[in-house]
Structure 1
Amino acid sequence: MQQDGLILELQNGNQRAFERIYELYSESIYGIIYSIVNDETLAEEILQDVFLKIWDKAPTYNSSKGRFFTWILNIARNASIDQIRSKSYKNKQKNLKADNFVDILESNSNFTAKTDAIGIKKYIDILKPVCKKLIDLLFYKGFTQKETAEELDMPLGTVKTKNRACINKLREMLAE
């Protein structure tokens, strides 16, 4: 069955079409969700919620407004972001923090592993500590700029300016 026919069957409530769509897209969607939440169990829960939304909202999909994959990708992305912005998620994250932890960037091998995995560890190590903190919070932990400002007890405008400067410095180093 072609994709258009499969989508039409899904929109008509065909359970087999839904199962086939799950088979085709679940792995990619899980990867996207996981890249946002960085938690396997949570990513699996969100994946199930996303496919329930796909089933429920299938009749609202309109091919003239965009590709089907983009439509389900947006559902997954929004569900993931909603989850990490939720109170329960934030409370869970706060429970993980403790005053006696050494600076998480300097001691956290997870950050080192992530930067090493994408080949920029040696460049990040050269950056100022504030840049390391900003990159960790904004890019690896998915904080918004406002959340980063609150976390670092820094004005929002300063976070934006420093983030731009840090990213530009990183770009300069990578271009050398």
Structure 2
Amino acid sequence: MTQEELLPLVLKKDDRAFTLLYDMYSKNLYGVIYNLVRDREEAEDVLQEVFVKIWKNIETYNESKGRFFTWILNIARNTTIDKLRSKGFNNSRKNLSADNFVHLLDDSNKLTNRIDTIGIREFVKKLKPKCIQIIDLLFFKGYTQQEASEELEIPLGTVKTQNRNCMNDLRNFLQV
């Protein structure tokens, strides 16, 4: 089933549409979420929350404002960032032992491969170095524009402008 065939079913809240939606997009969204939270259970919880949000808010999707995948990717990214900033999540992280971090070193290559499964990483690599840096911070590492501004030591307005220009460059690569 294609995305064009799926969307009308999702809008009608067809029971089988949720399963199809999940099957089509869960792996890609999980990779993005996991890259930010770096914890399998948390990523699964956030993924579930993301699909509930997609299902409940599907009528807010506007095709004229962008692609469906971009819309759900933003929901996943924003939900994950909200989770990362939550007090409960931060408190749970403070009490972890070093054993919980050993697997991150072993999985670092696998993690890169998971991000790459959606194919975005290859397109980002084709951008200018400044764009690669900004997109890495904002989208792959979950920085806010303010945090990216501080990290790169450039004005916030410059980060916003460069981000917009870089996203346009990325869109052009994706349309080819």
Q: Does 1:76 align with 2:93?
A: no
Instruction: Assess, with a 3 A threshold, how the Cα gap between structure 1 residues 93 and 65 changes in structure 2: closer, same or farther.
Output: same
In the aligned structure 2, how far is the partner of 1:5 from the partner of 1:24? 12
Aligned residue number for residue 129 of structure 2: none
Q: How far 1:141 sits from its partner (Å)? A: 7.4
8 Å CA contact retained: 2:36, 2:80:
yes
In the aligned structure 2, how far is the partner of 1:139 from the partner of 1:71? 14
Aligned residue number for residue 36 of structure 1: 36
Q: Does 1:21 align with 2:14?
A: no
CA deviations 1:132-164 (Å, max 9, x no partner) are xxxxxx9997676988xxxxxxxx96x544xxx
Aligned residue number for residue 165 of structure 1: none
CA deviations 1:100-157 (Å, max 9, x no partner) are x8xxxxxx76675577787xxxxxxxxxxxxxxxxxxx9997676988xxxxxxxx96
8 Å CA contact retained: 2:34, 2:40:
yes
Q: Does 1:61 align with 2:40?
A: no
Instruction: Assess, with a 3 A threshold, how the Cα gap between structure 1 residues 112 and 63 changes in structure 2: closer, same or farther.
Output: same
If asked which structure has higher relative contact order (CA below 8 Å, sep 6+), I would say 2
| TM-score, scaled relative to structure 1 | 0.58
Instruction: Assess, with a 3 A threshold, how the Cα gap between structure 1 residues 139 and 18 changes in structure 2: closer, same or farther.
Output: closer
8 Å CA contact retained: 2:32, 2:140:
no
Unaligned runs of 5+ in 1: 102-107, 119-137, 148-155, 162-176
Unaligned runs of 5+ in 2: 113-137, 154-176
Instruction: Assess, with a 3 A threshold, how the Cα gap between structure 1 residues 41 and 21 changes in structure 2: closer, same or farther.
Output: same
Whichever residue aligns with residue 64 of structure 2, its letter is: S
Q: How far 1:78 sits from its partner (Å)? A: 0.5
Computing the radius of gyration over CA atoms, which structure comes out larger, 1 or 2?
1
CA deviations 1:63-105 (Å, max 9, x no partner) are 11111111110000001110011101111122238xxx8xxxx
Aligned residues: 127
Identity of aligned residues (%): 47
In the aligned structure 2, how far is the partner of 1:18 from the partner of 1:55? 7
SS across alignment from 1:96: coil
Whichever residue aligns with residue 55 of structure 2, its letter is: W
Whichever residue aligns with residue 17 of structure 2, its letter is: A
8 Å CA contact retained: 2:84, 2:90:
yes
Whichever residue aligns with residue 96 of structure 2, its letter is: L
8 Å CA contact retained: 1:6, 1:17:
yes
In the aligned structure 2, how far is the partner of 1:60 from the partner of 1:14? 17
Whichever residue aligns with residue 54 of structure 2, its letter is: I
